[in-house]
Structures are given as C-alpha cells and as structure tokens.
Amino acid sequence: MAGDGVKGAAGDTRRAVTVAEALRAGAAKIEAAHSQSPRLDAELLLAEALGLRREDLFAAPERALDRDEAARFEAFVRRRQKQEPVAYILGRRAFRTIELEVDDDVLIPRPETETLVEVCLERLAGLDVAEPLVLDIGTGSGAIALALAAENPAVRVIGTDVHPVPLDVARRNVRALGLEDRMSLLAGDVFDDLPPGLRFDLIVSNPPYVTPEALRRLRVEVRGFEPYVALRAGDGGMEFYRRIVPQAPAWLVPGGWLAVEIAEHKAVEVITEFVAVGRYEQIDVRDDLGGLPRVVVARERAAGVAPSVSRADAAALEAALDDAHTGARPVAPDG
C-alpha cells in the first residue's frame, strides 16, 4: 500500500520517496537534459507512473511511491533524459478537444496545427452544405481529420497517408474516438490514389515541409525521434505545395476550400504558388498562437462553373468509401 513509509526489498531501510521529492528530483534530471519544460514533463511522467491525473499530484505531495511506482517513474525519466518526447513515452497527446494515441511512427500533433483546424472549422461553418466532405492529406495520427470530425458533427472526413504504418495508428484513433461512421482512411500518395470522382468541400494538409538542411538543425527531440517521412520535403521545403496546390481544384467542389500548414518563413512562397495556379480567390494567411504565419487558406474560384457538377453524386461516394472499408482500394492492412 502506498503511504506506508518504508518500502523496498527486505532489509532495505531507505525511506520511500514522496510525490514532491520525486517531482523535484525528476525535474532536475530532465532539466539537465535540456527540456524546455522540465517540471511539466516530470508531472506528466509521474502521474502516468502512478496511474493518476496530473492534478491529483498537487493534492498529494506527501504520498509515498511504492517500489514499482518509483521504478516506473525512473524509467520514464531516463527516457526523457535521452530527449525522447513526453508524448511518445506516454503514448498519447492531447489535441484540441481530443486525445490521440501516438507512437514514433507518427508525428506528434503540434499546437500550431490546432490553428489549422480552427481555420478549417471556420470555413466549414461558412458553407451551405449539410454534410461537408473533407480530405486530410498526410493524416499521420489522424489528428486534423479527427479533430474536425469531433468538433463538427456534420462532416465526413477521408484521411490519407502514403505510409501504411501511420494509417494503423490513425485507424486505432478513429476507433477509440468512435468516429468510424464519419471517418475513412486510404493509403495514397497525395491525390494519386484517390477514387476518381470524389469532390471535397474542403481539403486540408499539414504536409512535410522541413528541408533536409533544416532537419539537421532541429532539436534532438524532433530529429532523433520523429519520423523523417513526416517532416522532410524536397524542393526547398515546397515539394508538397507544388503538388497539392495545382491539383486541389480538380478535387474541390466549386467554391471549396484548401487550407495548408506552412513553415513560418514560407508564406510568400506558398501564396505565390496559389496565385500562379490562377484558380483560387480569398487567399489568406493565419498566424499561429505564437504570432507566426502558419496557415494559408484559399477558395477555389467558382466563377463560370455550373453548380450542378459540384459534389460527387452520393452513390459514387458511398461506393468509394465502402471499397475503402472493405479493402478493395489500396488501404493499409488492419492491425
């Protein structure tokens, strides 16, 4: 039982460490390993080791750790000292209103990306469509797609990723959040493997955008642990914008929206890409919470296009999504 005081193997007379002591010692070790948030990290890891919520720790600073709890916490702290991200140690990360399972096969969803979701929700709210259809290119953990589905009960979302392993993580997140009815997953390289005939009300992507040179300069926490395929982009970081921006209009309903996350110093280059395509209007940039340009969003220029060709007809969509579920389309294997 916790709180007995003396713990450990027979003959071990060391006093059990308390929550407050464990936090102090853990945070000091983590700080020495260059974490930017040592105290918070220690709290999250200790709560996990004790099977408590973080706020429960503050109510019980004198609670003693038993031997297993202390060992678990020490193991977590050792991993953190090697700069493994807290989200990978815990196996989960909060993102907007949801919590996502994450492992080192997927990018850890970033706070910046919450701004991208917000922009999408605003644009969706402005559409006069009963059940908007959304495409999330490079869905990874499923963060963007799942947050949109969780916060807008009308949307249907398709998440794609070229790599099968992230899709397995995404699939588990879809199930855990009970969003199977409104979210599908497809394996695919940007637009290349999508069932033809689909038309989306909104396409969103947080594509890889880090140049190989910039990748080498990233913190060990990112560079040493997160998947390169989620981060690295050729063509000066522009690789994916140069594919997505020109191709998206063909996959959007007239007046549909494209929203992409960008590196903070790339706004001008990405906007230039949108303008060059000549198919967009209402091009806009949104800053993230740190005040850095983070999202470019634009509307497909509907002028001259008859609304009657707008959405994929319902039957084609259902068939495509059924195929996706039954594996007739190239989908990542289950499990």
Q: Look at residue 47 and give the partner it binds from ligand SAM, ligand GLN, none, a contact being a CB closer than 5 to 8 Å depending on partner kind.
A: none
Contact criterion met (CB below 8 Å) for 148 and 174: no
Member of 39, 163, 242, 301 binding ligand SAM (CB under 6 A): 163
Nearer to ligand GLN, 208 or 256 (CB): 208
Asked whether position 240 contacts ligand GLN by CB under 6 A, the answer is no
* Residue in 32, 34, 30 with CA at minimum distance from that of residue 44: 30
Asked whether position 139 contacts ligand SAM by CB under 6 A, the answer is yes
DSSP per-residue letters across 165-183 = HHHHHHHHHHHHTT-TTTE
Extended beta strands in 126-214, E state: 133-137, 156-161, 183-187, 200-205
Asked whether position 211 contacts ligand SAM by CB under 6 A, the answer is no
Asked whether position 222 contacts ligand GLN by CB under 6 A, the answer is yes
Nearer to ligand SAM, 207 or 254 (CB): 207
Number of chain positions touching ligand GLN (CB under 6 A): 11
DSSP per-residue letters across 3-31 = T-SB-SSTT--PBPPBHHHHHHHHHHHHH
Dihedral angle computed from the Cα positions of residues 109, 209, 152 and 291, in that order, rounded to the nearest 10 degrees:
80
Burial profile 289-327: b = 16 or more Cβ within 10 angstroms, e = fewer? eeeebbbbbbbbbeeeeeeeebbbeeeebeebbebbeee
Member of 107, 157, 253, 297 binding ligand SAM (CB under 6 A): 107
Q: Give, as ranges, the residues between 84 and 123 that touch ligand GLN (CB under 6 A).
A: 110, 112
Q: Look at residue 140 and give the partner it binds from ligand GLN, ligand SAM, none, a contact being a CB closer than 5 to 8 Å depending on partner kind.
A: ligand SAM
Dihedral angle computed from the Cα positions of residues 78, 79, 84 and 87, in that order, rounded to the nearest 10 degrees:
-110
Q: Is the Cα torsion angle 180, 244, 259, 304 positive or negative in sign?
A: negative
Q: Look at residue 166 and give the partner it binds from ligand GLN, ligand SAM, none, a contact being a CB closer than 5 to 8 Å depending on partner kind.
A: ligand SAM
Member of 210, 253, 260, 320 binding ligand GLN (CB under 6 A): 210
Nearer to ligand GLN, 29 or 163 (CB): 163
Residue nearest to ligand SAM (CB): 138
Member of 208, 237, 256, 293 binding ligand SAM (CB under 6 A): 208
Calpha distance 283→198 (Å, rounded): 23
The span of 31-39, 57-65, 178-186, 204-212 binding ligand GLN (CB under 6 A) equals: 204-212
Q: Look at residue 222 and give the partner it binds from ligand GLN, ligand SAM, none, a contact being a CB closer than 5 to 8 Å depending on partner kind.
A: ligand GLN
Residue nearest to ligand GLN (CB): 209
* Residue in 333, 331, 190 with CA at minimum distance from that of residue 248: 190
Burial of 104 from C-beta contacts in 10 A (0-12 / 13-18 / 19+): middle
Q: Report DSSP state, residue 197.
A: T
Nearer to ligand SAM, 109 or 255 (CB): 109
Calpha distance 80→51 (Å, rounded): 18
- Measured from the CB of residue 75, what is the shortest distance to ligand SAM in angstroms? 27
Site residues, ligand GLN (CB under 6 A): 110, 112, 206-210, 218, 222, 231, 261
Site residues, ligand SAM (CB under 6 A): 107, 109, 113, 137-141, 143-144, 160-163, 166, 189-190, 206-208, 229-230
